[in-house]
């Protein structure tokens, strides 16, 4: 809280992302994303099945949850389009260049913030291509962690490591 009693702009946008997450139809985790550029909300998105298809709350089950799939694995089995993906899909690239994406993740079971939340590898690719500069992830009430997109680019998203001067592919975690 600032001296004048107002919350900071980053907290304001993280609060909105957390509220957007309440629209999520995922039975496992509710995520909300807000893209902001020049102090203006460009787009929002939440995790949910593609338009005009049944979502997990309507079906009443989640295949990844039913099979005990670990977080970060087998997203191809998930019905949901991620919050970050939906926010990017609903905005023009021109409006996203240089922007910040605010992300909040909440456990569907407990309602607690998801610990260590950050965009998955596919969402990172979309964020890079959209021209977004940073991602702020809600880590605790009133607190956010800033991720610089340029660091993902610089490290080739951790896909490679140098061995004897050559780039060697690195198997992603969870596979």
* Enzyme catalytic residues: 84
Query: On the CB side of 146, how many CA atoms lie within 13 Å of its CA?
Result: 8
Structure tokens at 9: 């702009």
Burial status of residue 118 (CB atoms within 10 A of its CB: 0-12, 13-18, 19 or more): middle
Distance between alpha carbon 102 and the CA centroid of its chain, in Å? 8
Percent helix, strand, coil in the chain (nearest 5)?
30, 25, 40
How many C-beta neighbours within 10 Å does residue 172 have?
13
User: Are 88 and 32 contacting, i.e. CB atoms less than 8 angstroms apart?
Assistant: no
């Amino acid at each position: 809280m600032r001296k004048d009693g107002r919350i900071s702009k980053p907290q304001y946008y993280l609060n909105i992302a957390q509220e957007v997450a309440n629209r999520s139809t995922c039975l496992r985790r509710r995520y909300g994303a807000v893209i902001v550029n020049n102090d203006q909300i460009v787009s929002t998105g939440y995790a949910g099945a593609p338009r005009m298809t049944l979502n997990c709350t309507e079906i009443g089950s989640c295949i990844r949850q039913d099979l005990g799939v670990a977080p970060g694995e087998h997203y191809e089995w998930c019905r949901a389009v991620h919050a970050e993906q939906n926010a990017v899909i609903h905005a023009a690239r021109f409006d996203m260049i240089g922007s910040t994406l605010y992300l909040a993740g909440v456990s569907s079971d407990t309602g607690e913030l998801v610990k260590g939340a950050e965009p998955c590898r596919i969402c990172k690719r979309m964020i890079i291509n959209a021209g977004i500069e940073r991602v702020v992830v809600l880590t605790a009430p009133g607190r956010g962690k800033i991720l610089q997109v340029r660091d993902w680019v610089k490290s080739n998203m951790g896909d490679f490591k140098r061995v004897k001067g050559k780039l060697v592919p690195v198997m992603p975690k969870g596979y």
